[in-house]
Amino acid sequence: MKKASRNYWVSICNISRNLRMFYSMLNKISNHVSQDINISNLIIRNNRIISNPQQQSNLFVNFFALRIQHEPIPLDYNGVYNSNLNHPIQIQETIKAIQTTRNSTPGADNIPAAWFKRLNNQQVHALTASFQEIFITTNIPQQWKHSLIIPIPKPSKDKTIISSYRPIALTSVRAKIFERILTDV
């Protein structure tokens, strides 16, 4: 009996090292659990229970859209020319921006920061050239203008109430790197 128990735990430990196998096993186990609707997947709106993911998504879109400020941010430009702001983007600036970028969840392009951190010198040079082109032409890639909005529950709040969530915007890591180059003067 002890040997069987030990072998079982050894196999569990081996599975946990292989993430694909671990999640496959976890999925199989969770599918054998009761198929009742999980209360944490419900949203209550106007005294109606919304369990359909598409309807929930639409609720979040409408809820968060009402809270967006559409007024343009006033620019306080005093007309003084600063040559430090308009110099060509240097490879060192790109490298520094990549190194200081956090390994957070990527945006819609699904390219993580770790991918940029593995670029070789030639690839960083090409990335810098593309940033310089964007800077000169002021043509921001369309995909940089879009974010994935993920609702995150606020701590200690009722997860069935839509106002208990805050939006997190997942933006392109490439856009974040470019932004960091421009702001780290």
The length of the chain, given as a count of residues: 185
Domain assignment present for 31: yes
Q: Which residues of 139-163 are buried (b: 16+ CB within 10 A; e: fewer)?
A: eeeeebebeeeebeeeeeeeeeebe
pLDDT attached to residue 25: 56
Split into its structural domains, the chain has a count of: 2
pLDDT attached to residue 128: 97
Domain assignment present for 67: no
For residue 177, the enclosing domain spans 78-184
The overall average pLDDT reported for the chain is: 80
165 and 92 in a common domain: yes
Domain assignment present for 15: yes
CA pair distance 68, 125, nearest whole angstrom: 37
177 and 86 in a common domain: yes
Helix H segments across 86-170?
91-99, 113-117, 121-137
pLDDT attached to residue 134: 95
172 and 86 in a common domain: yes
- Please list the ranges in the chain whose pLDDT falls under 50: 16, 32-39
pLDDT attached to residue 83: 67
85 and 29 in a common domain: no
180 and 102 in a common domain: yes
Domain assignment present for 68: no
pLDDT attached to residue 32: 45
